[in-house]
Every structure is written in structure tokens, then in C-alpha cells.
Structure 1
Amino acid sequence: MVDTLAATGADTFGRGGGIAWLAVALSTLGALVAFACVRHAKYSIKFRLLWLTMAAVSLGGVGLWLANSVALLGVRVHDSPVRYSAPIGTSALAIAVVGVLAGLLISGRTPQLPRLIIGGLTMGLGTGLSTYLTLDALAVQGTVEESLPIIGLAVLASMALCVATLWAFQTVRLIGLRVLASVLFALGVAGVYYLGVSALEFAVDPGNLAPEGLQLFDLVFPMFVLGALGLTVPITAVLVAPDRRDVVAPSTTS
């Protein structure tokens, strides 16, 4: 009997490069909103946790998870439909938000190198795991193999990116530099994502049943709408919140 199993890689830009640029734009917007929320959290006592939660949703939920999910729309696997596991994808979303929030809480209000490093490593581990789960949620008519060394390298890159991001959150004040830092964050997220994609190898077997799960568009489009609407909450909060720059920040670094 002729073996019908064929190994193949993913066509990462199978549906055009515009989807990749849309993902980068989403990631940049999420980072910009997170910058504003972290700034308000720095000078807020009563609502600090609320501001940091909005920052985590903006950065982890939109800037990372949603951007990665949108980028997945561009992936094509020849001779096989691609499906997505909603439970695994939802877990990836939750881990991204919780990981970013944990990193923000650990890093504190003012730059302290040990806390920045620990917070960045924690945040990077969460976001790296989220990226891995986002890719692991893919299913094809066959099997999906993963190169663990490349996945490990992607997680390390995610950690380095998150340490740099936390440093920028605490030290960058000028709006122009915030925009630049947000673009660099988005490019870093894209780099980690495409490094993760390069670790995947798809073995398509036409004799297998079609994979179970959702079509990517059926999940990503409603999440895209919800993410866009969700960003209006922190954006509105930033616009209406009083400017606390002249308020002396508390001495505690918690």
C-alpha cells in the first residue's frame, strides 16, 4: 500500500501579507493603550489594580493573543483544512492576560532591576506559553509535530521582550518614544510568533477524517470585534481620568 502521509510546512503568508500587518497594528494599539494604563496606575492608589488589569487585557489580550490569532488567519496547509481548538485558544488568552498582570504587579511602581527581571521573566513565560498554546490549538487532517528546541527559543525571546517592555513602561515618558516602543513590542511579538510557527511541521494524511474544531475565522472575527470594543473601556478611562502627574507617588514599591 502506498503511504499517503506527507510532511509539509505551513505557508505562513498563504493569504497575503496584509493579515500580518493587521496583526502588527493590533499589537501596537494594544501596547499603546497599556502604556497609558500603566502610567495612570503609577500615580493611583485606590484604582491601581484596576488600571493594571486594563493594561494586562490590552497588552496580553489584544496586543499578544488577538494579534497572534489574527496572524494565524494567514496560515495555509496544503491539501488539508485547518481547524482551531476553542478550549485551548481560550486557555491561551487567559494565560496571556494573567501572565502580563503578574509581571506588572511584580515589577512595581519604580524601576528596580531585580523586580524588573523577575517580572519580565514571569510575564515572558506566560506570554510564551500563550503563544505556544495558540499554535498548539491548530489541527489538520493528519498530525502536527513541534520542534521543542525552537519552541524553547521562542519562549526565551518572549522573556527578553517582556523584560524590555516592563523597563519601557517604567522609564519612557515622551509620547513619541511610547509609540516607538509600542511598534518595537509589536514587531517583537510578531518575531516570537513566526519563530513558533517555524517549529511546526504538518503531516497531512488524506485518509484521515477532517479535523475537529472551529474554522479560524469563526473564532477570530468575533474576538476581533470584542477586542476592539473592549479597548474602548481603557481608552475612555484614560481620557476621562484626572492627570495625576503632579501627585507624589507613594514611597512603597509594591
Structure 2
Amino acid sequence: MSDEMHHFSMGIWLLALAFVVSVAGSVIGLACTRHSMNATTRESRMRWLFMAALSIGGVAIWLMHFIAMLGFSVPGSPIRYSLMWTVVSALISVTAVFVGLVIIGTEFRLSRLLAGGLVMGVAVNVMHYTGMRALRFQGEIHYDVYFVALSLLIAVVAGTVALWFTMIVESTVLRLFAGVIMGVAVVSMHYTGMAAVEVVHDPSATTPEGLEVFSFLFPVFVLGLLALAIPIVAVLTAPDPVTAHMDSAADELASEAREFAVRD
């Protein structure tokens, strides 16, 4: 057996693509989260939170991870992925993000925000390392515990800050900035987690079985971007809560005016 450094190929464009996908999923997911806080029924709120979890957990975290892994290689060994662990990592990511968003609630409370941010930060990390469990090559992986801890810290702190922006900031521009923060957090966590990886290559090991990353990533990438169309349309067509409140108040005033006119 021999210790060999893994490396990333495909250059800066792959990092840029992973970042854009993560930011897009984060921005849409946080927008859905904001709309969930203004929902008038429990069913409506759950729909918004489910779309948010798919956008953040499914696109910003899970899809970003496997896009970034396109550049991962172990010299001298083919890379394959376990379908089961790949699917499990997606389910963990979406479910954990959903739970974190439910914990946050509809009104700002620091304790809920910290708890929800912790759950979502841990979700990012669990997805990453579960996704790494899907990796198959001739050899095995060890992790540097300090980089693992740092990746967890980055995800929890930046994710909590992004959620804080989403909950209390009224400016749309600053809410978009929250999506960028979360995208940066997810990508930073990923590459910090990859810095923790130590590959032990064993050329005598059996050739790995499983899927090539391109064979499942391309259709998933297309489906993921198409899936984003649903929450995007929902966000764009949802009534603005301030405008809706003003319209409701105007309707009430008009109704009172008509009643007053009839009495006269």
C-alpha cells in the first residue's frame, strides 16, 4: 500500500460552477423560507418549507457536492460511486434541512435560530461525509480531525448567519446576500472537508464497482435545475405580504365606506 495525494482537476471553472449552483439553490431556498413565515395556513407553510429544503438540501448542498467531486481523482485508480450511499446522502440532506427550518419557526427567537442553524450546519457536514462514503476506489480514506471540525464550524456559523439575515432583514438585496453567504458556507465547508482527506492507495485492491460520476450526475443536474423552476415560479408569483396587507386594509376601508354611504 502507498500514501498518495488525491488531487482536483478541471480547474477553477468547476469551483465556479459548484459555487453558482450552491448560491442559486441557497437564494431560492431562503426565499421560500421567508415566504413560509408569512403563510396563513400550516399546509401552505409546509409546502414552502419543503420547497426550501429541496432547494437548499437537494441543490445547494447535495448537487454542489457531486459537481465539485467531478474534479476529484486518485492517480492510478478508477473512481466509482455507490448508488445506495449517494441516494442516502440526498435524503439525509433534504430531511435534515427541512427539520432545521421547522425548528426555526415563523418568528425570530435566538434559541430557535441557533438550534436551527446548528441542525442545518450539521446537515451540510453529514451530507458531505455520507456522500464521501459513496466513493469507491482502490484504497481507503482517512480524515484529519482538525479539518473535519473546522468544516463543521464553518457550516454552522455561516448557515446561522444566513438564516438570521433571512428572518430579520427586510431588504431584498440583503436577503440575496444571505443566499450568497450560505453558498459560500457550503462550498467552503466542502473544500475544507476535502482538505481533511488523506488517501491511502492500494494498487493491489480489487477494481471498484459502482457508477461513474458522469453517468448519474448529468441527469441529476438537469433534473435539479428543472426542479428549481417550481420554487422560482412560486416565489415570483407569491403575493408580497406588505402589499397584501395594504390591499386587505384598503378593502376593509372601502367596505366600511359603502356601509356608511348606505346608512346615510
TM-score of the alignment, normalized to the shorter chain, above 0.5: yes
Residue 146 (structure 1) shift:
2.2
Write the mapping of 1:1-40 to structure 2, written as runs, cut at 5 A. 5-12=1-8, 14-40=9-35
SS at 1:23 equivalent: helix
User: In structure 1, what is the Cα distance between the partners aligned to 2:225 and 2:25?
Assistant: 10
Write the mapping of 1:221-236 to structure 2, written as runs, cut at 5 A. 221-236=218-233
* Aligned partner (choices 37, 41, 59) of residue 42 of structure 1: 37
- Does the alignment pair 1:102 with 2:99? yes
User: In structure 2, what is the Cα distance between the partners aligned to 1:110 and 1:63?
Assistant: 24
User: In structure 1, what is the Cα distance between the partners aligned to 2:229 and 2:124?
Assistant: 23
- Equivalent in the alignment of 1:139: 136
In 2, are the aligned partners of 1:43 and 1:247 still within 8 Å (CA)?
no
Residue 38 of structure 1 aligns to which amino acid in structure 2? T
Which 4+ runs in 1 deviate beyond 6 A?
Answer: none
User: In structure 2, what is the Cα distance between the partners aligned to 1:140 and 1:105?
Assistant: 38
* Aligned partner (choices 164, 187, 192) of residue 189 of structure 2: 192
- Does the alignment pair 1:161 with 2:158? yes
In 2, are the aligned partners of 1:15 and 1:75 still within 8 Å (CA)?
no
Residue 81 of structure 1 aligns to which amino acid in structure 2? P
Residue 24 of structure 1 aligns to which amino acid in structure 2? F
In 2, are the aligned partners of 1:135 and 1:197 still within 8 Å (CA)?
no
Residue 2 of structure 2 aligns to which amino acid in structure 1? A
Q: How many residues align?
A: 243
Residue 216 (structure 1) shift:
1.0
- Equivalent in the alignment of 1:56: 53
Residue 95 (structure 1) shift:
1.1
User: In structure 2, what is the Cα distance between the partners aligned to 1:183 and 1:122?
Assistant: 19
- Equivalent in the alignment of 1:89: 86
SS at 2:198 equivalent: strand
Alignment root-mean-square deviation, CA: 1.6
- Equivalent in the alignment of 2:260: none
User: In structure 2, what is the Cα distance between the partners aligned to 1:92 and 1:172?
Assistant: 32
In 2, are the aligned partners of 1:132 and 1:151 still within 8 Å (CA)?
no
Q: What is the CA deviation profile of residues 41-87 of structure 1, one whole-angstrom value per residue up to 9, with x for unaligned ones?
A: 11112201100110111011101111111000011211111111121
- Equivalent in the alignment of 2:76: 79
Residue 247 (structure 1) shift:
5.3
Q: TM-score under structure 2 normalisation?
A: 0.87
User: In structure 1, what is the Cα distance between the partners aligned to 2:53 and 2:84?
Assistant: 21
- Equivalent in the alignment of 2:207: 210
User: In structure 2, what is the Cα distance between the partners aligned to 1:246 and 1:213?
Assistant: 53
User: In structure 2, what is the Cα distance between the partners aligned to 1:244 and 1:176?
Assistant: 17
Which has a greater percent of helix?
Answer: 2
User: In structure 2, what is the Cα distance between the partners aligned to 1:214 and 1:103?
Assistant: 31
SS at 1:202 equivalent: strand
State, as a whole percentage, how many aligned pairs show the same letter.
Answer: 36
Residue 182 of structure 2 aligns to which amino acid in structure 1? F
Q: Which residues of structure 1 form unaligned runs of 5+? A: 249-254
- Equivalent in the alignment of 1:177: 174
SS at 2:142 equivalent: strand
- Equivalent in the alignment of 1:252: none
Residue 131 of structure 1 aligns to which amino acid in structure 2? H
Q: What is the CA deviation profile of residues 162-199 of structure 1, one whole-angstrom value per residue up to 9, with x for unaligned ones?
A: 21122122023322222222222211111110111111
- Equivalent in the alignment of 1:201: 198
Residue 206 (structure 1) shift:
1.9
User: In structure 1, what is the Cα distance between the partners aligned to 2:208 and 2:169?
Assistant: 46
- Does the alignment pair 1:115 with 2:115? no
User: In structure 2, what is the Cα distance between the partners aligned to 1:245 and 1:102?
Assistant: 28
Residue 124 (structure 1) shift:
1.4
SS at 1:73 equivalent: helix
